[in-house]
Amino acid sequence: MTWQEFRPRDIDDLSKDFIGLAPGDRVALSSIYKNLATDGTNIDPDGAAFRDGVIIGICIFEGSALFTMRLDPGYVGPSLSDLRTETSACFDLVLNDDGRIENLWIGMNDHTFDLPMAVGCLGQLKELAVGKRCKSISYQQLSKLPFLHYFELNSFEPLHGIENFKSSSLRKIYLTEECDIDGGMFETLMFDMLPTFPNISELWLCDNNMKVFDPCRKDSRR
Amino acid sequence: MNDEFLVPKPTICRLNLDGNPIEILIEENANHNPEETAALCAFLRAFSSIGSLGNCFDKKLHPTVQHELIFNLAGRRLQRNRALSLSVWPIVLARRWTASWKAQWSPTEVKMKVEWSKEDAATGIYYLLRHEPDLFDKRKIASAYI
């Protein structure tokens, strides 16, 4: 079964396994996988969103492309709460009331991150987090997201090429402890990367194991 | 030593260093590292929009670091804005005195309210007055109100 073949009628089958889940709850990826890829096809759903205990959205990685779909296009209800958790599962998303993806958390993507072909699904994206196995990001495509204001990286590598990320909406960048940045990287970040974001207001470097300012003291540009 | 970085400055106002080793080195304690503190102070002077280092307000920062943050919060970056009209300065100074500094962080984070004391406000205002000589130039003041 491909994602195109996934039809709303399958909601009933899926929701049977998820009865009792509250909006914002999440489910182990393996459970979704079992429900979706029953015919052994190479489809690996990476996340799902629920409303009132019913799965309403799902994301599937196929190669380097991300496909998303909505399962109840007519439903209008309260916003889902943030699905982000600290579990080992690799993909979370939050849909807004229109069913569009608002927040996207990619945990263990070892492919080049690429926006989905259906860019419209991510047009409302406000928050994006990429995992430590993500090697690179298409910033030219990210630039097409007019509402993105939060960008979280768990690896420093994807930052390369960020000069192509033309975003006036970005407010906050969070480099997690997974980034393991050193002073030189910090210097590059502050002097070469951040100035490309005119409205950036916050940089989070929590728990990075480094002496941040040591290289700045030696910086020849002072 | 010239502390200025000859690069464009982003508008970043919060550099969250919670959990970094630098935190310990810039606190007023036995592990205080003068070199690291000096480097951070130079950094804060260069990036004069930074008014917060995360939750460091909860801790006892070294006074030199604390002062640099107060000066930044007071509006040090305005000093570089030579186009700022003299008539705006009363508003700037009044705001420094009356308003607590409320940080509006990302919607995904817990909103934090960072108070600064009257003493901090006075320190910040004093810094601005001391480093804005135009405010005491009677000729410029006169021309501004003609």
ipTM: 0.72
Which of the pair, B63 or B145, is modelled with greater confidence? B63
Beta-strand ranges (E) seen in B1-146 are 14-16, 102-103, 112-113
Comparing A12-26, A91-105, B100-114, B126-140, which segment has the lowest mean pLDDT?
A12-26
Q: Which of B1, B17, B18 to mutate to test the interface with A (most CBs of A within 10 A)?
A: B17
Q: Which DSSP state fits A111?
A: S
| Most confident of the following: A7-11, A86-90, B66-70, B87-91 | B66-70
In-domain check, residue B14: no
Instruction: Give mean pLDDT, residues A70-97.
Output: 35
Q: Is the pLDDT of residue A78 over 60?
A: no
The count of structural domains within chain B is 1
Which of the pair, A158 or A132, is modelled with greater confidence? A158
The pLDDT of residue A132 is: 66
Structural domain span for residue B77: 21-144
In-domain check, residue B5: no
In-domain check, residue B3: no
Task: Give A94-106 pLDDT, tens digit per residue.
Answer: 555 554 556 665 5
In-domain check, residue B90: yes
Comparing A77-81, A141-145, B51-55, which segment has the lowest mean pLDDT?
A77-81
Residue A11 C-alpha from the chain's centroid:
24
| Most confident of the following: A33-42, A106-115, B23-32, B106-115 | B23-32
Express the helix, strand and coil content of chain B in percent, nearest 5 each.
50, 5, 40
Comparing A30-34, A204-208, B92-96, which segment has the lowest mean pLDDT?
A30-34
How many angstroms separate the CA atoms of A128 and A40, rounded? 30
Which of the pair, A111 or B83, is modelled with greater confidence? B83
Q: Which residue from A194, A209, A219 is facing B10, i.e. has the nearest CB?
A: A194
All residues at 6 or more sequence positions from A179 whose CB lies less than 8 Å from its CB, including other chains: A153, A154, A155, A156, A185, A208
Which of A197, A195, A101 has the alpha carbon at shortest distance from A143?
A197
Which of A52, A169, A171, A151 has the alpha carbon at shortest distance from A104?
A151
- CB contacts, 8 Å: B18 with chain A: 206-207
Task: Give B113-134 pLDDT, tens digit per residue.
Answer: 555 677 788 888 888 888 876 7
Which of the pair, B143 or B36, is modelled with greater confidence? B36
The pLDDT of residue A186 is: 79
Residue of A nearest to B13 (CA): A201
- CB contacts, 8 Å: B14 with chain A: 201-203
**Pair A84, A92: CB distance under 8 Å:** yes
In which order are the strands placed within the sheet that holds A65-70? A44-51, A54-62, A65-70
In-domain check, residue B78: yes
Pair of tokens at residue A144: 């097409």
Q: Is the pLDDT of residue B142 over 60?
A: yes
In-domain check, residue B83: yes
All residues at 6 or more sequence positions from B16 whose CB lies less than 8 Å from its CB, including other chains: A202, A203, A204, A205, A206, B52, B53, B54, B55
Asked whether the beta carbons of residue A208 and residue B20 sit closer than 8 angstroms, the reply is yes
Residues in chain A: 222
User: Rounded to the nearest 10 degrees, what angle do helices B63-74 and B118-130 cross at?
Assistant: 70
The pLDDT of residue A87 is: 25
Instruction: Give mean pLDDT, residues A30-38.
Output: 39
Between positions 105 and 144 of A, the ones with CB within 8 A of B are 127
Residue A180 forms contact with B (CB below 8 Å): no
How many angstroms separate the CA atoms of B14 and A127, rounded? 18
User: Taking phi first (over 0 means left), then psi (-120 to 50 degrees means alpha), and beta for anything else, what does residue B131 get?
Assistant: alpha
The pLDDT of residue B80 is: 67
Asked whether the beta carbons of residue B43 and residue A213 sit closer than 8 angstroms, the reply is yes
How many angstroms separate the CA atoms of A191 and B10, rounded? 9
Which of the pair, A215 or A45, is modelled with greater confidence? A215
User: Taking phi first (over 0 means left), then psi (-120 to 50 degrees means alpha), and beta for anything else, what does residue B28 get?
Assistant: beta
Instruction: Give mean pLDDT, residues A104-122.
Output: 46
The pLDDT of residue A181 is: 74
Asked whether the beta carbons of residue B35 and residue A217 sit closer than 8 angstroms, the reply is yes
The pLDDT of residue A149 is: 86
In-domain check, residue B77: yes
Confidence (pTM)? 0.64
The pLDDT of residue B12 is: 83
Residue A211: phi and psi, rounded to 5, are -95, 100
How many angstroms separate the CA atoms of B16 and A207, rounded? 9
Distances in Å between the Cα of B128 and the Cα atoms of A117, B73, B74, B80, B135 are 53, 11, 7, 12, 10
Q: Is the pLDDT of residue B64 over 70?
A: yes
Average pLDDT value for chain A: 56
Task: Give B27-50 pLDDT, tens digit per residue.
Answer: 777 777 788 888 888 888 888 888
Task: Give A173-209 pLDDT, tens digit per residue.
Answer: 888 877 777 777 777 788 777 877 888 888 888 877 6
Q: What is the least distance, in Å, from the CA of A23 to any CA of chain B?
A: 18
The pLDDT of residue A12 is: 43
In-domain check, residue B15: no
Q: Using only C-alpha atoms, what is the Rg of chain B? A: 17
The pLDDT of residue B78 is: 78
